[in-house]
Amino acid sequence: MRMTNKIMQRNSLYNINQTKISEDKYNTQLTSQSKITRPSDDPVIAIRALRLRSNVSTANQYYDKNAPDANQWLDVTAKSLDTITKVYTNLYTQVQTGVNKDYTASDMNVLLTQIESYTNEVFATGNQDYAGRYIFTGYRTDTPLTLQKEQIDKANQEPIYQITENLKEAQLDSFSYTDYSVFDTKANALTVDELDIQNVEIHRLRLSYRDVDSSVAPALTIKDKDGTDITSTVFTAGITTVASAELAYGQMITATGTNTPTAFFIPTTGEIIFTPDIADNLSTVFTDGGSVSVDYQKRNWEVGDLNPQHYFECTKVDPADASKNITYNAGGNVNTEIVYDVGYNQTIQVNTNAHEVFDPAVQRDLDDLKDIVNQFTEIEKIRSDLKEELKGYVEGTADYKDCKTRLDAADKAYTYIRDAVSKRFGDQITRYQNYLDSTNVAITKNGTRSTRLELISARLEEQKSTFKELQEENEGIDMTEVAVLLTAAETTYDAALMATSKIMQNSLINYI
């Protein structure tokens, strides 16, 4: 076969081109520090690169964004719960002090002011937010725990909420009530004696709000553990609405004395009171695993009241258009979990629900303490005034005897009420301890989530590092090796040029 100049040129140019391609390949690898520049260079590397890049991107999202965000939420919650623990501890200490019967009404009012301040701090902490999102209000992160000024329309008595409250056994309780209303008017006060002072144990269901709507009668629903309605069997009296607590309590004294099944609804205090027989029936319902719920309406709100959207099944009523009514927590489920994706098939709840820590009973307990301290203040003043009046009479005279009789009655009322104050504060010790226990449970749950998140984050860090190593092994180059190969390719290319130039100098003429 004859080897022509054309064949030699073509073969030489082909070899030079291949050498140049090889040099360009290594030069590109050295510049980009990647084995391939297009999928066709190596499809296997390209496919693995796509998968590994996706894994690295996902790991970065989890480790650099989701996990830190979840951790910050948990951290803010932990600090808030720590504050609540300190506040409940202070409240616990304050009510322990209030048990002391040597305290005067003035002392008790000072103590009450401190308790009110701490109680307000509890719910102020409940309005804690993280990056503009309220942390204790579940999905409704744009809604504070308590009602704010801009949410209340005093003039139109709005918002209007129809509330279905599932009562707890703790809301069925009793307290000692002393009727000293005979001292309210001077005419009655002139004839009062010890027999006019009556004391009775008032049994009640305490709603989570006071100042509820008096125009809508509450509807009780009582069921046994199997869900069978037993309302008429347990609650053997119709509920009568009474405007004032004093009037209702006074009538309850009479009903209790005659053993007549009776029940009163007091809108101002948010109580349903009843005779002991009904109280026993309700207690049995709770003991046997039954349930008690009450439907009522509230439209008189104050700044700082708990927003019912976070606690109860309720309907926000639009008085102008019923079609615009909004129902919250249908079915009574108020547990809302905010869950973060923090890893591959790994999720974690970051929020603590309001009802786990901020019991509406805390505000109602303050109302009860205010009521009993107010009674104590009034009877102490009546007693003090009578003592001063008695000093103006001569012992043995008719005026002296009449005043002494009234003073004895006041002393009797004072003793009853003083004992009631001490008992109320004593009972409150247990209540605050229960709130503290609930908060500690919430702290434990939050701490457990934080610990779990730390473990997940540590695993994410390892996964992120592993994926990056695999990505580097798949796409990356050995700089030293590529540099050597590039140098070799350059040398080969230069040699090819020199050899080709020598070959191309000869032609067939040189051999003739």
Q: What is the 3-state secondary structure (H, E, C) of 425-469?
A: HHHHHHHHHHHHHHHHHHHHHHHHHHHHHHHHHHHHHHHHHHHHH
What interhelical angle do 5-32 and 479-505 show, nearest 10?
A: 160
Across all residues in the chain, what is the average pLDDT? 87
CA 438 from centroid of its chain's CA atoms: 12
Which of the residue ranges 189-193, 324-328, 378-382, 400-404 would you say has the lowest mean pLDDT?
189-193
Please, are residues 227 and 293 in contact by the beta-carbon 8 Å criterion? no
- Residues 315-320, mean pLDDT to the nearest whole number: 93
pLDDT at 42: 65
- Residues 229-236, mean pLDDT to the nearest whole number: 87
Helices then strands, counting H and E runs in the chain, come out as: 12, 14
* Residue 479 reports pLDDT greater than 80: no
Summarised one tens digit per residue, pLDDT across range 251-285 is 998 888 888 889 999 999 999 999 999 999 999 99
Q: Which residue type sits at 199?
A: N
Cα-based angle 451, 457, 459 (whole degrees, multiple of 5): 110
CA 226 from centroid of its chain's CA atoms: 30
| Candidate ranges 160-164, 214-218, 229-233; pick with highest mean pLDDT | 160-164
Pairing mode, strands 129-130 and 263-266: unpaired
* Residue 437 reports pLDDT greater than 90: yes
pLDDT at 80: 95
Say which residue, 479 or 334, is predicted with more confidence. 334
Between CA 314 and CA 326 the distance in angstroms is 8
Which of the residue ranges 32-41, 408-417, 448-457 would you say has the lowest mean pLDDT?
32-41
* Residue 41 reports pLDDT greater than 70: no
Please, are residues 93 and 111 in contact by the beta-carbon 8 Å criterion? no
* Residue 390 reports pLDDT greater than 70: yes
Beta partners for residue 317, in sequence order? 160
pLDDT at 108: 95
Summarised one tens digit per residue, pLDDT across range 284-299 is 999 999 999 999 999 9
Between CA 250 and CA 248 the distance in angstroms is 5
pLDDT at 14: 76
Tokens of 234: 């347990």
Between CA 508 and CA 6 the distance in angstroms is 11
Between CA 313 and CA 17 the distance in angstroms is 80
pLDDT at 508: 58
pLDDT at 30: 66
Tokens of 276: 């002991």
Other Cβ atoms closer than 10 A to 94 = 20
pLDDT grade for 50, boundaries at 50, 70 and 90? low
Which residue has tokens 């804690």? 128
pLDDT grade for 183, boundaries at 50, 70 and 90? confident
Beta partners for residue 295, in sequence order? 164, 219
Residues 6+ apart with CB under 8 A from 473: none
* Residue 512 reports pLDDT greater than 80: no
Q: What is the dihedral of CA 446, 451, 457, 461, to 10 degrees?
A: 170
CA distances from 401 to 57, 150, 190, 408, 509 (A): 93, 59, 11, 10, 159
pLDDT at 57: 76
* Residue 346 reports pLDDT greater than 60: yes
Beta partners for residue 293, in sequence order? 166, 221
Give me the residue spans of the domains in the chain.
Answer: 5-33+477-511, 145-335
* Residue 26 reports pLDDT greater than 70: no
* Residue 339 reports pLDDT greater than 70: yes
CA distances from 213 to 160, 228, 269 (A): 9, 29, 11
Omega into 159 within 30° of 0, i.e. cis? yes
Which of the residue ranges 164-173, 174-183, 478-487 would you say has the lowest mean pLDDT?
478-487
pLDDT at 64: 85
pLDDT at 234: 84
Tokens of 119: 């109680």
Between CA 219 and CA 213 the distance in angstroms is 13
Going by C-alpha positions, the residue among 154, 152, 170 that lies closest to residue 362 is 170
Tokens of 353: 């629900």
Please, are residues 279 and 203 in contact by the beta-carbon 8 Å criterion? yes
Q: Which residue type sits at 374?
A: N
pLDDT at 10: 75
In this structure, is the dihedral angle defined by the CA atoms of residues 175, 180, 181 and 182, taken in order, positive or negative?
Answer: positive
First CA to last CA distance, the chain: 18
pLDDT at 460: 83
Q: Which residue type sits at 464?
A: K
355 φ, ψ (degrees, to nearest 5): -70, -15
pLDDT at 256: 84
Residues in the chain, how many? 512
- Residues 498-506, mean pLDDT to the nearest whole number: 71
pLDDT grade for 306, boundaries at 50, 70 and 90? very high
Beta partners for residue 221, in sequence order? 293
pLDDT at 484: 73
Between CA 365 and CA 425 the distance in angstroms is 10
Tokens of 509: 């003429």
* Residue 467 reports pLDDT greater than 80: no
Between CA 33 and CA 63 the distance in angstroms is 26
- Residues 344-373, mean pLDDT to the nearest whole number: 94
- Residues 427-446, mean pLDDT to the nearest whole number: 96
Cα-based angle 10, 13, 16 (whole degrees, multiple of 5): 150
- Residues 348-357, mean pLDDT to the nearest whole number: 94
In the chain, % of residues over pLDDT 70: 87
pLDDT at 498: 77
* Residue 206 reports pLDDT greater than 90: yes
Burial of 413 by CB count in 10 Å (0-12 exposed, 13-18 middle, 19+ buried)?
buried
